Structure 1
Amino acid sequence: MPTPKHLFGAHTPDSGGIAMAARRAGNAGMRALQLFTAIPKYYNEKVGVRPERVERFRDALAETSIAPEHVMAHAAYVLNVATPDTEKWERASAGLTKELERSAALGLGMVCFHPGAATDGDRDAAVKRVATAMARAIETVDGDTRLLVENTAGAGTTIARTAEEIAGILGELPRAARARAGYGLDTCHLFASGYDIAADPMAFTTVLDTFERAIGEPPRFFHLNDSEGALGSNKDRHTLLGDGAIGQEPFGWLLGDPRSRGVPLILETPQDAAPADDDATPDPNDVRMIRLLERLAGA
């Protein structure tokens, strides 16, 4: 069986809609894509996706080399399904379910989300609340779209900073729901939360081994971001690869690990400017970063 290829992509600008985001990704030669299905500063718990929007997106995606299973939605940032506040949790949980519903309707392979924060300091209870929200979403929405926990930079009382916490969340899921769940790793978040992936190749491998051992499976995606903050700073501030405290070389180490192949490798790095709605030209920074990754991978 041939070795899976690297699936480089980005969260491309969506001026003009997600169909234009797909075209910009395709025009940059990407093989993966991340997008928002709704405005990310709102819960969107009542927002659906119109059939004509689905059709436009699928038509645009068909023009690219990106398979639908390699497209990931990023859930809204406000969805704190770790909160002990019952009213806020119910709304966030409904928002997560609706996100999975929209993504399934679009035919996307996966949804990633930030679990939120244990604002009362009870991290064990927060882990259970996150799992309950995940299970509710998966059990409500039919289909193959996966729901994936993203590791966090560890600021304040945010959950999923460590391999053990992600393992705890996924371990709370019922067996049927667990089959459609998983996790992914953001390089900036890893570094900011204290995992020294920039020390040497073995250190990076050890970090990936730590997560795989604790959780029982490798990551389903990677977010490729350099870090403005120092090791252990807990700052979630992304920079272009090579412009931050991680540097370019560690991304080459990651690309040399077989766990980086066959899963979406998504840039969330700074972009140049918002394009016009009808302009499918890819972002210059995205293109530059994709070409860098190709060089680091020896493509």
Structure 2
Amino acid sequence: MTEGNFVDYVKAFVSSGNGGKGSVHLHREKYITKGGPDGGDGGRGGHVIIRGNSNLWTLVTYKFKKHFKAGHGEHGSKNRSSGADGQDIYMDVPLGTVVRDAESNEILFEITENGEEKIVAEGGMGGRGNWHFKTSTNQTPRYAQPGIPGQEQSIILELKLLADVGLVGFPNAGKSTLLSVITSAKPKIADYEFTTLKPNLGIVEYRDFQSFVMADIPGIIEGAAEGKGLGHYFLRHIERNATLLFLIPADSKDITKEYEILLDELRRYNPELVDKQRIIAISKSDMLDDELMGEMKAILDKDLNVPYMFISSVAQKGIQELKDMLWKLLNE
């Protein structure tokens, strides 16, 4: 998937169908001159339905098509014949999509299961035909109900990635390089900050044909929880990850402080993120000799309360051990 095709936030306008009118009809046949009312009911207007599809990973379908209108219900007719219901419109979205009201920003619902369906705009009910209104004192009612109008609404579709492992780190920490080594994904890699502007997904192949999904989340900066940079667009993708892999380069001035800053940004954005399983991978460790690594381990053992390991994506150092640890955390 190219970066330009990864669309995780779109606005759309949905409109359900109007209900059909009830019929005003009096039954007439050759030998039945006063058969009474027999007007049928109008059909229901079509719904606009959001449906989960596990084969989709992006909202690119809705990048250019923004308006969705369901069909109107048909009017009732004679012989108590009901009008046909309006055609429903289905909007297929990836799992992990949150649907909001565009005006109030209120969350309407979330789609997390394949085939899950939620009505976002309900079609209007059809009007009842005049045969419903027949009474002993009014045996030939010449009126029926009109159909109820459909609903119109502006909505926001917001994708939060569903991945087993989410890569968390500052810009240029080596997340995209690790993803390209550990999976078959081909993210954009360059030696400058914010190379990655959209999340990348990759399938990590493990032993015995088993696998799990890893997401490279664009780099977090200090103040991201307040929306600094593109903070909110990046941080929301971390909410759905089962395990968080913090990636901190070995040449960082203070590994513990960098980890605390990243953790604090997650805490300020959503305190529940701190409850997720966490592991720290110290990248670019091929530049460390044994003596320097020993000194760093002594400091980290004292300061950190989460498991950590040294890796190098370029030198393929510690990659299999990292897979083993992630698999163990995911299956605990």
Report the TM-score, using the length of structure 1 for normalisation.
Answer: 0.33
Report the TM-score, using the length of structure 2 for normalisation.
Answer: 0.31
Which of structures 1 and 2 has the larger relative contact order (alpha carbons within 8 angstroms, sep 6+)?
1
Higher helix share: 1
Structure with max Cα Rg: 2
Higher strand share: 2
